[in-house]
Structure 1
């Protein structure tokens, strides 16, 4: 049970019933809960619950609106998904001035059975220290605690897609309900769905082709080493707000230029698309043009699908901006270089050198340090559960409600027990 009742404000969540069910659980714990809806999709998942306010203003009016909500409902804590959404930036930036704690949900750093919950920011805003010695010490503080194994569940993509369609169909009345609202995604829902339908129709053909290519690269790896470049979504906040790149075209061009100038002549580069890419960008054509210009024809391969674990198990190294694929690569003992500064970009884990040198002498991760990193990050920031299926949501709601009800977060406990 909580030490004292809290007053929570829920802002925008994922396109699923997760936030609504979390609110119900927090009320059962004795807390007060109020919700701000920004569009019709938010309202659909909240219905028929009361204790809500609809924001119909523009972003310039949002700071004063939030201030009035914080004061009127005596808010102690606010909960949101993604700290870089336009409707969240004022809440994220100003809350501390009014004594309001911020709890941020995000997709899991470790997947698929975890989601992220941190106080005061995630990803580039995470309060996790960037000192490998701290992770070793903090892991030691947790030695007496049992290693948590997540409860597994199946999250079908069709369920997530159905929730997303419901959210955007409801958005058809935004012109009446809130004409000033602008969705944070750069692509409209109809264009997005058309892209998905076209891409998914071709997946069966791609799976066979890509599996054969990965098998061949792995077989030839001893003689012709290959490096992996996993693509991220162009809409990813990790790219726009936590890197020097604007899109994946820039990433591909930067990596290929370095590879052309510095990689061993027999080395190859495998570029893998993101599994949730909408298929609206013609990456193969872009890669072919760059390869021809840089003299890399026959040395750069592109896949849409494929067994990532298999590729990482044989790859000479992985180059990523800040994708969670980097964590998977480290787990597979694959040398990894980051083009920005994700939470796992630590001396001893990722290669701290220049990308030009990485092709010649990639540095393997310290597996003892990685085990310490994983243990600490899961304890401090991950909760078992998911956002888009019944069992996953139930797990996430139960575990999140327990964490949100405590005065001290798991990370705060570690920071006090093992000061950086």
Structure 2
């Protein structure tokens, strides 16, 4: 008898009850693939076609909008009512049209015109998952419950093993779309964001690709020194313009976060323990904090204990016997740290920032005596998050459409 594979199961399936409209999707062709799947199941789809063009949609499904973005809500409401739209799909909830759409959904639902919002995002559980929530994601997630809620959930007997679906052959469309968007001067977000690229971002992307190999060589000995001799705490940096910082924390930027962490580490007065900052891989070509970290660590006389690195496998870090804890704002790294039972201190709004998972006292006390991870609580938390929001697939390769969507007429 063949042994049944212990694979992740997404249980919160989306029941499609009528016409669908797509707003901005992840850079690439993922939303057009979703539209094609729905159309094959006799669902009428529409695509709001902003000046930031998205490839793969039928011309007949496109509804062009290039007017003032702050007037988009009125335009969308007319379409929803005229076409009897039942579902709105979007990527993330920080873009101006997406914020307006979510607000409109709330207003229409209160009036009795029911419409479902569906928000895709990169996986909370990296690297083989895609996130799907209905009201918000990340700092606006629908999973911001207290410990008591998660205590009542069921744990896994054994953690499921996600399938790595390998080569993402459609990534070429990311490059094409990113290039196209870089030369479109049409505001869709309140602050600098990679979904609103500029021409200079093309250089930053190329620079980041080159630096990946450069840092692999020049940081080789530094990483050996960081991870092989002394206990250490990891500090995970967000993308510089990430809404997790701007909207989901009390920090105005990474500089303020870095300063605070170094100051508190100094106040902890630890002996023979290092502080290691890890740069965000998606921000490699855009920013560099080496001079600032050195300057602040010298200010607090801990320059011999403070390090700054790029690209290194997180699983190796968290399996390292010297790793004492992780400091972050709201990074998906928090889930990985907890999975390996490495204590965390979250300084932002995140589902895992609760007693039993994240250290609840000040940062100095975390450095001195980090609260242990409650393994059973994490098991329950992990299962609930996975089964209700995590889809084992990716935007540019395999995606299990049949396992995610059901249709009212097929019940």
TM-score w.r.t. structure 1 length?
0.85
Among 359, 363, 384, which residue is 2:371 paired with? 363
Per-residue CA deviations over 1:370-393 (Å, capped at 9, x if unaligned) read 11111111101111110123xx2x
Q: Is the 8 A contact 2:73 2:97 kept in 1?
A: no
Q: Following the alignment from structure 2 to structure 1, what is the Cα–Cα distance between the partners of residues 213 and 236?
A: 20
2:44 is matched with which residue? 32
Q: Following the alignment from structure 2 to structure 1, what is the Cα–Cα distance between the partners of residues 188 and 359?
A: 43
Q: Following the alignment from structure 1 to structure 2, what is the Cα–Cα distance between the partners of residues 166 and 215?
A: 38
Pairwise CA distance, 1:217 = 3.3
Matches within 5 A, 1:110-149: 110-139=125-154, 149=161
Q: Following the alignment from structure 2 to structure 1, what is the Cα–Cα distance between the partners of residues 344 and 187?
A: 43
1:372 is matched with which residue? 380
Q: Following the alignment from structure 2 to structure 1, what is the Cα–Cα distance between the partners of residues 173 and 192?
A: 16
Per-residue CA deviations over 1:67-113 (Å, capped at 9, x if unaligned) read 11111111111111001112211001121221222111001110111
2:23 is matched with which residue? 11
Compared with structure 1, are the counterparts of its residues 40 and 226 closer, same or farther at alpha carbon in structure 2 (3 Å cutoff)?
closer
Per-residue CA deviations over 1:135-194 (Å, capped at 9, x if unaligned) read 232226x88xx97543321245x953x32331133347746xxx6667964464432221
Compared with structure 1, are the counterparts of its residues 352 and 180 closer, same or farther at alpha carbon in structure 2 (3 Å cutoff)?
closer
Compared with structure 1, are the counterparts of its residues 277 and 371 closer, same or farther at alpha carbon in structure 2 (3 Å cutoff)?
same
What secondary structure does 2:225 align onto? helix
1:414 is matched with which residue? none
1:51 aligns with 2:61: yes
Q: Is the 8 A contact 2:328 2:345 kept in 1?
A: yes
What secondary structure does 1:350 align onto? coil
Give the RMSD, CA atoms, in angstroms.
2.6
1:77 aligns with 2:87: yes
Q: Is the 8 A contact 2:330 2:347 kept in 1?
A: yes
Per-residue CA deviations over 1:271-303 (Å, capped at 9, x if unaligned) read 011111142323111111111122111110111
1:192 is matched with which residue? 201
Among 390, 402, 411, which residue is 1:398 paired with? 402
Paired positions, count: 388
Pairwise CA distance, 1:400 = 3.3
1:220 is matched with which residue? 229
Which structure shows the higher helix fraction? 1
Gap regions ≥5 residues in structure 1:
408-420
Q: Is the 8 A contact 1:335 1:364 kept in 2?
A: yes
Q: Following the alignment from structure 1 to structure 2, what is the Cα–Cα distance between the partners of residues 32 and 80?
A: 17
1:279 aligns with 2:285: yes
What secondary structure does 1:163 align onto? helix
Pairwise CA distance, 1:2 = 8.9
1:302 is matched with which residue? 308
Q: Following the alignment from structure 1 to structure 2, what is the Cα–Cα distance between the partners of residues 181 and 282?
A: 26
Q: Following the alignment from structure 1 to structure 2, what is the Cα–Cα distance between the partners of residues 275 and 30?
A: 41
Q: Following the alignment from structure 1 to structure 2, what is the Cα–Cα distance between the partners of residues 299 and 239?
A: 25
1:203 is matched with which residue? 212
Among 258, 264, 284, which residue is 1:252 paired with? 258
Pairwise CA distance, 1:120 = 1.3
Q: Following the alignment from structure 2 to structure 1, what is the Cα–Cα distance between the partners of residues 151 and 107?
A: 34
Q: Following the alignment from structure 1 to structure 2, what is the Cα–Cα distance between the partners of residues 8 and 102?
A: 10
Q: Following the alignment from structure 1 to structure 2, what is the Cα–Cα distance between the partners of residues 3 and 254?
A: 46
Gap regions ≥5 residues in structure 2:
1-12, 109-113
Higher mean Cα deviation, 65-74 or 24-33? 24-33
Compared with structure 1, are the counterparts of its residues 131 and 155 closer, same or farther at alpha carbon in structure 2 (3 Å cutoff)?
farther
Q: Following the alignment from structure 1 to structure 2, what is the Cα–Cα distance between the partners of residues 280 and 3?
A: 40
1:415 is matched with which residue? none
2:165 is matched with which residue? 153
2:274 is matched with which residue? 268
Per-residue CA deviations over 1:324-373 (Å, capped at 9, x if unaligned) read 11111111111100001211112101111111211111111011111111
Compared with structure 1, are the counterparts of its residues 183 and 189 closer, same or farther at alpha carbon in structure 2 (3 Å cutoff)?
farther
What secondary structure does 1:242 align onto? coil
